[in-house]
Amino acid sequence: MGTSGAYSGSGGKDGKTVRDAVRKYLDGLSGPDGPRKNGDRPPLDPASLQRIVNLIRPRGASGGGGDGPGGGGSGGSGGPQRTTAASARTAGRAAAAAYAYSTGDAATLQRLGLDYEELRSLGDDVEVLRRIVNMACSTPDSSIEDHEQRYVAADVAEWVMEQERGGYRPTPDEVVRQTIAVIIAEALLVETGNLVNGHESADVAEQDIRDAAEFIAVQADLSVNGVTEDEISRAVEDGIERLRGIVRGGS
The answer on pLDDT for 194 being more than 80 is yes
The predicted-structure confidence for 59-111, as pLDDT tens digits, reads as follows 766 554 444 333 333 333 456 778 999 999 999 999 999 999 999 999 999 99
The per-residue pLDDT for 59 is 74
- Proportion of the chain above pLDDT 70, given as a percent: 84
The per-residue pLDDT for 9 is 73
- If one compares 223 and 126, the residue with the highest pLDDT of the two is 126
The three-state (H, E, C) secondary structure of 68-128, written as one string: CCCCCCCCCCCCCCCEHHHHHHHHHHHHHHHHHHHHCCHHHHHHCCCCHHHHHHHCCHHHH
Mean pLDDT along residues 131-138: 94
The per-residue pLDDT for 73 is 38
The per-residue pLDDT for 249 is 75
- If one compares 17 and 60, the residue with the highest pLDDT of the two is 17
- If one compares 106 and 58, the residue with the highest pLDDT of the two is 106
| The model's pTM | 0.87
- If one compares 145 and 53, the residue with the highest pLDDT of the two is 53
pLDDT band at 6 (very low <50, low <70, confident <90, very high): low
- Look at the chain and count its residues: 251
- Mean pLDDT lowest among 25-39, 43-57, 110-124, 186-200: 25-39
The predicted-structure confidence for 144-187, as pLDDT tens digits, reads as follows 889 999 999 999 999 999 999 999 999 999 999 999 999 999 99
The per-residue pLDDT for 74 is 37
pLDDT band at 30 (very low <50, low <70, confident <90, very high): confident
Mean pLDDT along residues 4-26: 84
The per-residue pLDDT for 251 is 59
pLDDT band at 33 (very low <50, low <70, confident <90, very high): low
